[in-house]
Amino acid sequence: MGQIYKQLGILSQGHVVETDRSGLVAGYVGQTAIKTDTAIESALDGVLFIDEAYALKPEEAKNDFGQESIDTLLKRMEDYRDRLVVIVAGYSEEMTRFIDANPGLKSRFNKYFYFEDYNPTELLTIFEKICEQNHFKLTEKSKTVLLNKLTDLYVNRDQKFGNARLVRNIFEKTIERQTNRLVKYSRVSKEMMSTIMPEDIS
């Protein structure tokens, strides 16, 4: 998106600065505005991407510094309206709480994109990609077991379905199970260490 905006002449640099609550909110009064300003300044002439932006407005939280960050962000969006694009992301229902945190946010964030959950086959492809990046491989039977597991999770998903994060968590648990299985052998070959068996799928 940053490069698209640059090519369109909207932004001069088009770089993307990604952050979340931890990168914007401090633990002391007055420090949050400074921390938020620092993130914004690093994104000037580019895109500030705030992941899980709803965390800036926790549900039923009192005296939370997230509101200070939201108010600072809103003012800077106006101050730097020709030099800054802000994109926020998060679960739909929680993002409604974020948008309602300040009356000015609705007019600033007026374009919404909704992404469908990955289907089981796509989730399996993501898992295989993670395996490839980490030098692991799945047997055909392992693929079948994993696809069945992903299908079950997909069918029973709720609004907080993890998508790629869910796949990453399954991969990490799978490698942990594989390690626990292999430790029982006196000799372990490179092939054994790089192969994920059906019983490893957690």
- Any domain includes 114: no
Phi-psi category of residue 149: left, alpha or beta, with phi > 0 → left and psi -120 to 50 → alpha: alpha
Residues 135 and 76 grouped into a single domain: no
Residue with the two structure tokens 């079950």? 152
Q: What are phi and psi of 130, to 5 degrees?
A: -65, -40
Residues 44 and 17 grouped into a single domain: yes
pLDDT in the model for residue 27: 82
Q: Domain range holding 157?
A: 120-200
pLDDT band for 103, please (50, 70, 90 cuts). Answer: confident
CB 44 within 8 A of CB 83: yes
- Any domain includes 113: no
Segment 82-91 shows an average pLDDT of 94
Residues 10 and 89 grouped into a single domain: yes
> Among candidates 171, 186, 170, which has minimal Cα distance to 135?
171
- pLDDT, tens digit, 9 for 90 and up, residues 166-187: 999 999 999 999 999 999 998 9
- pLDDT, tens digit, 9 for 90 and up, residues 133-162: 999 999 999 999 999 999 999 999 987 788
Q: What's the CATH code of the domain at 127?
A: 1.10.8.60
Residues 135 and 63 grouped into a single domain: no
pLDDT in the model for residue 28: 81
Which residues, 6+ apart, have CB-to-CB distance to 132 below 8 Å? none
pLDDT at 165 over 80: yes
- Any domain includes 21: yes
